[in-house]
Amino acid sequence: MAHDDELDEVDLRLLHALQIEPRASWSDLAPIIGADASALSRRWAAMRDSGKAWITGLPDLGRHGRLALIEVSCVGGMQDRVATRLEHDPEVLILDYTVGARDLFVTVYCDSMEELNEYLLARFNRLPGVRSSRTHLVTELIGDARTWRLRSLSPAEAARVPRPRPPRPRAASHVPEEVRAAVLGELAIDGRAPAATIAARHGLAAQRVADAISTMRARGEMYLRTDISREHSPWPVYTWYFIQLPAVQIDAARTVLRKLPELRLAALCSSRFNLILAVWLPRLEDVHGFEARLAGILPQAVVADRSAVLRIRKHVGHLLDERGRATRTVVPVPRS
């Protein structure tokens, strides 16, 4: 490993491989990364335990439930207090401290429109310390961070990373709700949790849990993502863009935006900003270069506003400290 505050090239190669297949075995990855299986296991444990990287299991947010992006302006001096209240809400997936026209930017997920309405009207809108808020309902998730890659492996090496195994031919086609809840709850905390460990905690058979994981992944009912602290990545600058896009360019946006390597999220929204993007960049100076490239692929798009992120307070259920390291997991996000 490199200095305590750095990740070396082997770490980054390992993380890139885990972004492709978060539950790949160390023995499968060893010849690709160029380190033995026991060394990879130790490296992952060190990164996970230090909070520099984590793996999370989530329902497919683009197919199930409702997403909303919320701009929050706080009463002077109340930003931390509002964030502390929000970070414990299971509906809050991501909580960012931002600069610009908003103090906080919040990503919220609920199982249904009714539950989202209840959360916004009965709880969120009554938070003390909030001066104003603006909610953007997501109508389509074009892309999110599950496809973002570190680019530390060559294309040939990345192609060698084994993909998820399909369900066994004898696996049950239906995953009972109690098994689904156990799997999602455990993998929300640790996406590499062994099937045997999950089974033991919930009084289930290990094979039944392994089959459930394979079936849910194959059907798109759950996905796994490997995340890295942005402060320890080569792309530490995190910016939100608020864009007004003519309707005639929406089809083009679905195709071209997925080709942007910096893209962490692209959402079509029902609001005056009908396209909202999150990107990671190497330097703050690259913000303007990104906008120039965006104009090249979507010439009619108007960047109406932007906000740089000072700190991520919560990330897909994981609380992050001031250095961007995951410290603990709050109550798992709502499940479909």
Encode pLDDT of 33-72 as tens digits.
999 999 999 999 999 999 999 999 988 776 667 999 999 9
Residue 64 per-residue DSSP state: S
195 lies in a domain? Answer: yes
- Per the rule left: phi > 0, alpha: psi between -120 and 50, beta: everything else, 229 is beta
- The string over 291-313, giving b where at least 16 C-beta atoms fall within 10 Å of a residue's C-beta and e elsewhere, is beebeeebeebebeebbbbebbb
327 lies in a domain? Answer: no
For position 175, what pLDDT does the model report? 94
User: Once rounded to an integer, what is the mean pLDDT over residues 210-223?
Assistant: 94
271 lies in a domain? Answer: no
Q: Is 137 exposed, middle or buried (0-12, 13-18, 19+ CB in 10 A)?
A: middle
| Confidence label for 255 from pLDDT (cuts 50, 70 and 90) | very high
User: Once rounded to an integer, what is the mean pLDDT over residues 222-238?
Assistant: 93
160 pLDDT above the threshold of 70: yes
**CB count, 10 Å around CB of 179?**
23
User: Can you give the length of the chain in residues?
Assistant: 336
What is the rounded CA–CA span in Å between residue 322 and residue 310?
10
Nearest to 23 by CA among 177, 253, 194, 176: 194
For position 335, what pLDDT does the model report? 43
Q: Is 274 exposed, middle or buried (0-12, 13-18, 19+ CB in 10 A)?
A: buried
334 pLDDT above the threshold of 90: no
Domain carrying residue 27: 9-60+154-226
For position 274, what pLDDT does the model report? 95
333 pLDDT above the threshold of 70: no
User: Once rounded to an integer, what is the mean pLDDT over residues 270-276?
Assistant: 94
36 lies in a domain? Answer: yes
20 lies in a domain? Answer: yes
For position 63, what pLDDT does the model report? 66
Encode pLDDT of 101-131 as tens digits.
999 999 999 989 999 999 999 999 889 999 9
What is the rounded CA–CA span in Å between residue 79 and residue 250?
35
83 lies in a domain? Answer: no
1 pLDDT above the threshold of 60: no
For position 62, what pLDDT does the model report? 60
For position 6, what pLDDT does the model report? 80
334 lies in a domain? Answer: no
User: Once rounded to an integer, what is the mean pLDDT over residues 209-234?
Assistant: 94
- Give percent above pLDDT 70 in the chain: 96
Q: Kindly give, in sequence order, each residue whose CB lies less than 8 Å from that of residue 21, ignoring residues fewer than 6 positions away.
A: 161, 162, 163, 164
What mean pLDDT is reported for the chain? 92
For position 278, what pLDDT does the model report? 97
182 lies in a domain? Answer: yes
198 pLDDT above the threshold of 70: yes
Domain count, the chain: 1
User: Once rounded to an integer, what is the mean pLDDT over residues 186-194?
Assistant: 95
